[in-house]
Each structure stands twice: as C-alpha cells, then as structure tokens.
Amino acid sequence: MISVNHVSKRYNKRDLVVKDVSFKVEKGTIFGLLGPNGAGKTTMMQMISTLLMPTTGVISICGLDTQASAQEIRKKIGFLTTEIKLDPLSTPNQLYSFFSELYDIPKEEVEARRQASFARFGIGPFADKRIVELSTGMKQKVSIVISLIHEPEVIIFDEPTNGLDILTSRQVMDYLLELRQKGCCVLLSTHIFSVAEQLCDEIAILVDGKIVDQGSAQALTEKTGSKNFEEAFFKLYSEYHREG
Ligand SMILES: Nc1ncnc2c1ncn2[C@@H]1O[C@H](COP(=O)(O)OP(=O)(O)OP(=O)(O)O)[C@@H](O)[C@H]1O
Ligand SMILES: [Mg+2]
C-alpha cells in the first residue's frame, strides 16, 4: 500500500538528508522507521504524506503517485507529525467539528464517532478546554484522534508516543495494534527501541538518511548475534559509522 522507491531528499540544493531509501508497507502490517535525532525520519514521513516532494525517486500510496495525486492521497491517509500544532485557542470539540466538516463525515455519524474516540482516550472532561490549557499528552491524544477522524486505511505517524507517559504510550500502541488488526497499513517513526520492537512487523533502521538494515526485531537481533534488539541497534549503528 505504501511503496517508496529510491527516494532521496536534498534541502536547499545542498544538504542530502534522505539517501536512496526504498521500502514497502503492506496492508495489515506496522512498519517502523527507527533512527536517532536528525536521521531523516520526519523528512521521510512528510514526503510520504505529500507535504514535501522527493528530490529524486517515487513514492506511491494505494497505487497513486504522491507527486501526481497529492489531493486524492490526502483523503486516504491519516497523518500525525511532530511539526504541525493544533490551534492553541480552539477546543477539542471545536477542532473535531471543524475537521469532520472538512472531511465530509456524514452528520449523523459525527456525534457517535466523537464520543467513541474521546472516551477511548479520556478526552471527554477536556473537550471544552482550549488546547493551550491541555497537557502535552492530552494534546497528543487530541492530535491522534483528529488525524484519524476520517478512518483512513493508511496511517503515517511521526513519533506517536513522543512526550507520552508509559500508560498513555500503551493506549496509543494498543490502538495502533487494533488498527492493524482491522487491516490498516501503519507506518510509524520512532527513536524508542521498545516501541519499534513491540509494535512493528518490520523495522528499517535509518541512520544519516540511509537504511542500514531492515527486518523484524527478532530477525535483526539474531542476524547481529545480539542478546536483545537494543544491542542489535547499537551494533548496526556503530558498524555503519565504522564503514562510513
Ligand atoms: N527545512 C529544512 N531545511 C534544511 N534542513 C532541514 C530541514 N528540515 C530538516 N532538515 C535537516 O534534515 C536532517 C533530517 O531531519 P529530520 O527532521 O528529518 O530528522 P528526524 O529523524 O526526524 O530527527 P528527530 O528525531 O530529531 O525528529 C537534519 O540534519 C535536519 O537538520
Ligand atoms: Mg523528527
């Protein structure tokens, strides 16, 4: 459903920050981009979500090219990024109503969907408070609910558990597993091993804009002769730097 083919990105005609990246994410699977700060995760996610264009290479989603069919793709994807902030003076209720209209959600369905998703993430008591008054975790949960308002089949989440405590992280992770179960195609980025290890069917390790290795957490752990996935990551990371 998501297909990334030999994609590179250069900022300012100078800095090459994504280097010949290719991977595929199938329906009903969770794929993770795991990498340190500055590896190019957000850049990659923004290209896949049609917000940035690749310098070279091709990305397609459900068979549609991101350069040719950006508008159509945006209706199919749920995108969460660390870069876009909710309007601080709106309330979760106002945002929910605004985005339901934007996405043409049938009027008779809006209330039931709002109640179900607010209940799921404990947003109810905060629904009429302004975003600026909410905690980091609550803002992130509102962002997640808004990004999935149109029940997209392709989910692209940049650092979804960023700033969340263990309990809230767990809620978000359980939700992503449920969406996979329903057949969604989920791409997430993270720098947290345990998130990648617990959620992802397949993990690409991104360092300096390049995929240095790819596979399930178990496969990467075995392949590198490591005692756990965290050790596998460090081995792959330092191997890359030795060679690089
Ligand atoms: N708009 C921009 N113009 C120029 N360079 C940029 C721009 N955005 C990001 N970069 C550079 O691209 C590289 C990759 O950044 P990116 O934000 O994609 O990394 P990341 O993996 O998401 O990092 P983090 O874990 O810190 O979020 C960094 O070196 C960054 O400085
Ligand atoms: Mg980032």
pLDDT on residue 174: 95
Structural Rg of the chain based on CA atoms: 18
- Mean pLDDT per 10-residue section of the chain, whose length is 244 residues: 97 93 98 96 96 97 96 94 86 96 93 95 97 93 95 96 90 95 97 93 97 97 95 90 69
In a domain, 145, yes or no: no
- Cα of 96 to ligand 1 centre, how many Å? 30
- The C-alpha atoms of residue 125 and residue 135 are separated, in whole angstroms, by 13
Pocket of ligand 1 (CB under 6 A): 11-12, 15, 17, 35, 37-43, 191
- The C-alpha atoms of residue 55 and residue 29 are separated, in whole angstroms, by 28
In a domain, 24, yes or no: yes
- The C-alpha atoms of residue 184 and residue 121 are separated, in whole angstroms, by 20
Query: Based on the structure, what is the number of domains in the chain?
Result: 1
- The C-alpha atoms of residue 118 and residue 57 are separated, in whole angstroms, by 39
In a domain, 194, yes or no: yes
pLDDT on residue 178: 96
Residues in the chain: 244
Cα torsion at 151, 153, 159, 161 (round to 10°)? 50
In a domain, 140, yes or no: no
In a domain, 7, yes or no: yes
CATH no. for residue 33?
3.40.50.300
Whole-structure pTM value: 0.94
Q: Which among 12, 4, 41 is positioned nearest to 209, based on CA atoms?
A: 41
- Residue closest via CA to ligand 1's atom 14 equals 40
DSSP string, 128-189: TS-GGGS-HHHHHHHHHHHHTTT--SEEEEESTTTT--HHHHHHHHHHHHHHHHTT-EEEEE
In a domain, 66, yes or no: yes
pLDDT on residue 81: 87
pLDDT on residue 244: 60
- Pick from 10, 17, 193 the residue to mutate for probing ligand 1's pocket: most ligand atoms within 8 Å of its CB: 17
Residue numbers of the domain that contains 217: 2-83+151-243
- Residue closest via CA to ligand 1's atom 4 equals 11
- Residue closest via CA to ligand 1's atom 1 equals 11
- Looking from the CA of residue 206, the nearest atom of ligand 1 is 21
DSSP character at residue 47: H
Among the bound ligands, the one closest to the CA of 81: 2
- Residue closest via CA to ligand 1's atom 5 equals 11
In a domain, 142, yes or no: no
Q: Which among 126, 129, 155 is positioned nearest to 61, based on CA atoms?
A: 155
